[in-house]
Structure 1
Amino acid sequence: MASPIQTPIGITYNGKLTKEYILIPALQTSGLDDFIKVLTAVKTKQQVSYVEPFTKITIKDPGCDSTPNNKQLTFREKFWDPQPVEAYMSICYTDLYNTQFEETLNGGTQKPDLTGTPAEELVLEALIEAADNDLKRMFWLSNKAIIASNLTGGSAEVKNYNQVDGIWKRIKDAVTANLTPRYTISQNAATTTAGQVLPDGEAKKILRQVYRKQKRKLKAMKATDKRFLVTRSIYDNYSEELSGNDKLESSRAQLIDGTPTLKFEGILLEVLDVVDQALEEDFTFTNSGETTTTELHRVVLTVKDNLQLSVDTDERNPVAFDSWYERKDKKQYARADYELDTQIAREDLVSVAY
């Protein structure tokens, strides 16, 4: 198993160097953690029932001839089917030779034990951030049926995406079943690099179509309870249009205040940076000199708590690493295990473009 600490590229080791390091920050997710509903302690397959409210139960009083209304509650069922995942790493103390961490090793018989050393601290910090990013990527883009040809890295990458059916897989299933309306972004189908670029002002048109295609129940929801969840290409294209239009109050705020938030029809836009990163790394292909990305431009309009994640832990964030030294192996191990699944509570409370 390859070590998570390799000889640093571009750094010359001279026997004694600084023990300090700066860990490059992982992706942040803005306010999405509060927008997505997380169900804890879901440990086995569970049925979830959604109850439709009664309608039309009040009529003109017929006097002495009243009869009870025979309306019945309508139930819709779904199932949580949590799948086990793991993040598992090992470090051998010899992997730290000729690195800036060699000096921090213990002496004598305890040398292989990295417990409490700066090397263990670095690895655990990096693992936690990576696993947290993995959780968000799985939530959005995992697909149990994904195949090698869907991914830039081919068969080697399948294991990183086949854990569960993520939200995009569920969205596409809902579109196919006519439960969720979709606007087709023509640039996504382009076979050239230039063809996938959004023309100026295109994002506003896309947002308008997604907004118009909302089903009645979603339209009735308050704007403050909704979000446009978009890829960076949509956000930047829309931002550029607003910044270039000094007649709009929102564009003046963008130019003068440098506000990081954008709205369309009073609905906040949130950037899905974790999706953008995955699309760039794992869903981008080059053919005949042309580089294209699978569904580069994406928009989801939905309401708070409609997109859901289940975990088997009692905490909302299931990522917790156990680190230990195995004397017989002379290695340090770190491992995180949990189960997860995803769900869309109501597909008719979603409107999309891709």
Structure 2
Amino acid sequence: MSSIVNADALTLNAREADTVSKVIFERVFNQSDLSEYHDVETGVDMKTQIAFAGRIGLLGKASAGCAPNEAAGLTFTEKFWDPAVEDFRLKHCQGDMPKLLKLFKSAKKMNPDFYDVVGSPEFGVVIAAVEDGMKENIHRKIWFNDLTAATTANGGSFKVGTDLGYWNTFNGLFKQIFTEVPTTAPNYVAISANTGNSYVNQALAADAALTILGSMYAAADSRLLQDPNAFFLVTRSIADNYRATLRNKNLGAGFLEVVEGGRTKLTFEGKEVKTRYDWDMYIQGYQNNGTKYNLPHRAVFTTKSNIPVGTLSEEDLQKLDVFYDKTLKTNIIDGVYTLDAKHLEKYMTVAAY
């Protein structure tokens, strides 16, 4: 039976760990709440219309006679929420791994105490680790999912051997943005380092991020610039490059690196620059052909309301169903949720890639 716990690499001795709370869990790359980057629309359980009304054009000409001058009205367009239903199951059978018994608990008796660890503090630590991993995976799907995902061997961008079933349930934001803000669009900014033919040749030159962010700001629609909630989302590669520039140049009040609540905050022209460390991790780990990365440097200038996430219930994205199956003598962690992401208005985005 596959299990949430694989202890094959553990060496047992007289002083082995005796509780899960003493185990050092590898940290996830992103366990931020979705609300840090996105508006979250709940109650989305099926194909649902999103309607857009265009801006009213010019109004008012000199009157001539009794009939008023006619003006153009509103033009409506639409997109659709189409959430995917996803699930996963993790199992833990105490009987399959007796050498891990100390990590979970000392059973009072074989039947039923030996097998059932649901509700124990030890298994609670494992559940917390799964919850963090679930958050990280939701962020991954929102940005990197692609209905037509393919490996580099088949003309796609994913590393050969990638299980595409984890990536192809709906179109994520990168797929949508690359389609709606193509390289010919006025709100697209080219990052020349992305075209390098090797990992080394894809490195950003000194001060490149300052140029990228400046070009994005210049390409932004005035309505985006005026929005007080506009922010930049950038790969770590761009954030680090920009941070190095700030430390070497005196750029003034709108270009800052400050620490708020123990967390570094970058700004460009007064707009926050949020570092997406998880983007770099997924690009390097999964969008990699062995010689170079697929667009390793990326930045998006937009607002939370322009890249919303849709789900039936936000609680589904955070909570797990944990239970003990007496028949199988197995502790089970289930997750199931609906999920979609939408890039709404092109003029409220500048994309650099």
TM-aligned CA distance change 1:329 to 1:180, over 3 Å: farther
Q: Gaps (5+ residues) in structure 1?
A: none
Q: CA deviation at 1:342?
A: 1.1
Paired residues of 1:151 and 1:158 also in contact (CA < 8 A): no
- Which residue in 1 is equivalent to 2:336? 337
| The 10-residue stretch of structure 1 (138-147 or 107-116) with the greater mean CA deviation from structure 2 | 107-116
Q: Which SS does the other structure have where 1:176 is aligned?
A: coil
TM-aligned CA distance change 1:30 to 1:241, over 3 Å: farther
Q: Which SS does the other structure have where 1:207 is aligned?
A: helix
Q: CA deviation at 1:12?
A: 3.3
Q: Partners in 1 of 2:31 and 2:73 — Cα distance? A: 42
Q: Which SS does the other structure have where 1:98 is aligned?
A: helix
- Find the partner of 2:276 among 269, 272, 276: 272
Paired residues of 1:228 and 1:302 also in contact (CA < 8 A): yes
| The 10-residue stretch of structure 1 (178-187 or 293-302) with the greater mean CA deviation from structure 2 | 178-187
Paired residues of 1:312 and 1:318 also in contact (CA < 8 A): no
Q: CA RMSD in A?
A: 2.8
Q: Partners in 2 of 1:163 and 1:352 — Cα distance? A: 23
Q: Partners in 2 of 1:77 and 1:139 — Cα distance? A: 20
Q: CA deviation at 1:14?
A: 3.1
Paired residues of 2:183 and 2:190 also in contact (CA < 8 A): no
| The 10-residue stretch of structure 1 (274-283 or 162-171) with the greater mean CA deviation from structure 2 | 274-283
Paired residues of 2:104 and 2:123 also in contact (CA < 8 A): no
TM-aligned CA distance change 1:180 to 1:50, over 3 Å: farther
Q: Partners in 2 of 1:137 and 1:334 — Cα distance? A: 21
- Which residue in 2 is equivalent to 1:346? 345
Matched AA of 2:273 = L
Q: CA deviation at 1:179?
A: 6.0
Q: Partners in 2 of 1:163 and 1:252 — Cα distance? A: 39
- Which residue in 2 is equivalent to 1:45? 47
Size of the aligned set, in residue pairs, is: 345
In the TM superposition, 1:247-262 aligns within 5 A as 248=252, 260-262=264-266
Q: CA deviation at 1:210?
A: 1.5
- Which residue in 2 is equivalent to 1:208? 214
Q: CA deviation at 1:250?
A: 6.7
Q: Gaps (5+ residues) in structure 2?
A: none
- Which residue in 2 is equivalent to 1:65? 66
Q: CA deviation at 1:249?
A: 5.3
Matched AA of 2:208 = E
TM-score by length of 1: 0.87
Q: Which SS does the other structure have where 1:286 is aligned?
A: coil
In the TM superposition, 1:195-234 aligns within 5 A as 195-219=201-225, 221-222=226-227, 224-234=228-238
Sequence identity percentage: 22
Q: Partners in 2 of 1:250 and 1:266 — Cα distance? A: 5
Q: Deviation string for 1:302-330 (max 9, x for gaps)?
A: 123101110011x3662311011111111
In the TM superposition, 1:1-354 aligns within 5 A as 1-7=1-7, 9=9, 12-14=12-14, 17-19=17-19, 20-21=21-22, 22-28=24-30, 33-62=35-64, 65-67=66-68, 69=70, 71-99=72-100, 100-101=102-103, 103-105=105-107, 107-110=109-112, 111-149=114-152, 150=156, 153-176=159-182, 181-219=187-225, 221-222=226-227, 224-246=228-250, 248=252, 260-287=264-291, 292-313=292-313, 315=314, 318-354=317-353
Q: Partners in 2 of 1:283 and 1:12 — Cα distance? A: 38
Q: CA deviation at 1:185?
A: 1.1
TM-aligned CA distance change 1:253 to 1:225, over 3 Å: closer
Q: Partners in 2 of 1:279 and 1:198 — Cα distance? A: 16
Q: Deviation string for 1:95-141 (max 9, x for gaps)?
A: 44212425444522112222212442122111111111110000011
TM-aligned CA distance change 1:352 to 1:177, over 3 Å: closer
Matched AA of 2:54 = E
Q: CA deviation at 1:26?
A: 2.6
TM-aligned CA distance change 1:82 to 1:247, over 3 Å: closer
